[in-house]
Structure 1
């Protein structure tokens, strides 16, 4: 039997020549249940589509063009092709992340270069209709810095958005060490109106990057600079978040030149996985106390250079390496959650993101 008889489709982001990369656009990978990967081809030529998101119900993919400062919708065409679904919409400087609201009402784009958080209204067919900008971030640590040190003003660096289970949106600001929680309202004026609900301040210099919500409601945040994991605890009584646990992201400690990248959860919420660039590790953390704390238990070589992004899916860990240009797949131990020996490696030029196609859009066998 063909090993790809039960294959799934995974979209890949990349850096292209405009960013010094060797990618060609949005790629397509077929993933078999045993962890074997097969390169299908370039789904759509695009300039540095460094991060992607998938519409929850429609065959539509969204990609930020990081250096072109745009976001665009693509519609599926054939087995794995993508074609533009409308024009590219303007975003901000170094648009680095895009996320889709679970019912398909809107997108959120975060921009590392200028700190913008942008909301895009979506049409019934998944196309982009309108844009609204969220309020600018203010550095909560400003005024607490040593005046004698003559430190420059810290720039805002919006980096990722998470759709919370209660309908709100949480965004990270890596430059201001800040989590911002948004309510999304409609009218009057723009169809979408992001309103700041509240903020959670992280330790100065930690650099919150990516985040994921535990089934219990708490949010886990990986910090790029301090190589830690923080828990934004959700109060069931008041619905607000506060900073709870902060601890190391790795079992062996941070090494010189390290920067944390992605955090992902196992489907059952028992284990979290953090990618660390520099020392090129994936760290496994046990989730404790119903999501109130995380404890690192193992550091595993990622199998390549610069693990920028990873996904956990069906008992497998897929790791995208930007600099070595490959995706490495690890089976996960069912009990401990620790990755076993790699099951496969696939060349993917300047890989930056891995986003599985939604259920129901798997490839035919």
Structure 2
């Protein structure tokens, strides 16, 4: 039975993972979190030069059960396969991705599959080499966005490399989402959202304020695409069909690094203003509730 997920866990660059209503679990730089699909286990990456992934039990508070190296530098994202038998990590610092088998308890089993990469892009100070940024399991393949090489890398679940999805030079792909065969990508370096639908490619500015925008998280909900804009400090709402604009609202703080949608609520992690702002979704548009959870340098929000 899938556990009921009603807590809110927040990771970032403060002293550890904050669970609203329960307090703090100390852990070094837990910049991204993911939950097991059927077990009461939370996974957190430690964004350090020698990266770590920790499995934490969630019964009666968070408690570390297992940990291991991510085989790379500065892990910034973790994802769990829907089967609950495989976990993937993106290491931003050196572009390495890794896959880790999970046993029936949800802890690590066997040796990791290490996926190294090479390449660069035209933005000299950001694309000097590969920078893996997000892992997504889709159609039983692992997809990895590479900000440094302007690609969505693709692998089988055994780690065999397939042909990558190439994006225009200088895009700097960060987070992405699928809807069937459609692919939506936030471009951190060029400030865009890109829709790849077969041979059709649609690109639009992520924000009306294009100057100085570094889009971060992107998420699909129903027929809408949401993207967080760092610099303008807004959340944009676009139609999934053609990326036409629906709304753009203030993020409730500074430097919205991540957000999560849970039912009719959106939680926005504003990294530079030390808070997670709560929004109500009214016809899909975020409306501020006035509620803000104070969290030091939040980077990820996980409804649990």
TM-score, normalized by the shorter chain, greater than 0.5:
yes
**CA displacement, residues 15-63 of structure 1 (integer Å, 9 cap, x when unaligned):** 0xxxxxxx2211112xxxxxxxxx4311x21000000110110111111
Q: Which has the higher relative contact order, 1 or 2, with Cα contacts under 8 A spaced 6 or more apart?
A: 1
Match of 1:177 in 2: 150
Q: Pick the aligned partner of 2:211 from 240, 255, 271.
A: 255
CA distance in 2, matches of 1:333, 1:298: 11
Specify which of 255, 260, 266 is matched with residue 306 of structure 1.
255
Tell me, yes or no, if structure 1 residue 264 matches structure 2 residue 219: yes
User: Are positions 1:277 and 2:236 aligned together?
Assistant: no
Is the 1:24–1:47 Cα contact (8 Å) retained in structure 2?
yes
Aligned residue in 2 for 1:345: 292
| Cα distance in 2 for residues equivalent to 1:83 and 1:338 | 36
- Where in structure 2 are the equivalents of 1:65-80 lying within 5 Å? 65-67=46-48, 68-78=50-60
Query: Are the counterparts in 1 of residues 71 and 114 from structure 2 also a CA contact under 8 Å?
Result: no
TM-superposed deviation, 1:85: 1.2
Unpaired runs of at least 5, structure 2: none
Give 2:202's aligned residue: 245
CA contact (8 A) 2:209 2:232 kept: no
State the partner residue of 1:13.
11
| 1:346 CA displacement | 1.3
TM superposition score normalised by structure 1: 0.77
Instruction: Please state how far the C-alpha of 1:152 moved relative to its aligned partner.
Output: 10
User: Mind listing any 5+ residue stretches in structure 1 that lack a counterpart?
Assistant: 1-5, 16-22, 30-38, 185-192, 235-241, 358-365
Change (3 A) 1:233 1:169: farther
Greater CA radius of gyration, 1 or 2?
1
TM (norm. structure 2) is 0.92
Who is 1:157 aligned against?
131
> Does residue 127 in structure 1 map to residue 107 in structure 2?
yes
Counterpart of 1:204 in structure 2 is 169
Q: CA deviation at 1:263?
A: 0.6
Between Structure 1 and Structure 2, which shows a larger proportion of strand residues?
2
Q: 1:113 to 1:262 in 2, by over 3 A?
A: same
Give 1:48's aligned residue. Answer: 29
Partners of 2:118 and 2:104 in 1: CA distance: 31
Instruction: Measure, in 1, the Cα distance between the counterparts of 2:156 and 2:256.
Output: 33
Match status 1:217 vs 2:191: no
**How far 1:297 sits from its partner (Å)?**
2.6
In the TM superposition, what whole-angstrom CA distance separates every residue of 1:162-196 from its partner, at most 9, and x where no partner exists? 111x2111110001111112111xxxxxxxx2111
Q: C-alpha distance in 1, partners of 2:144/2:126?
A: 24
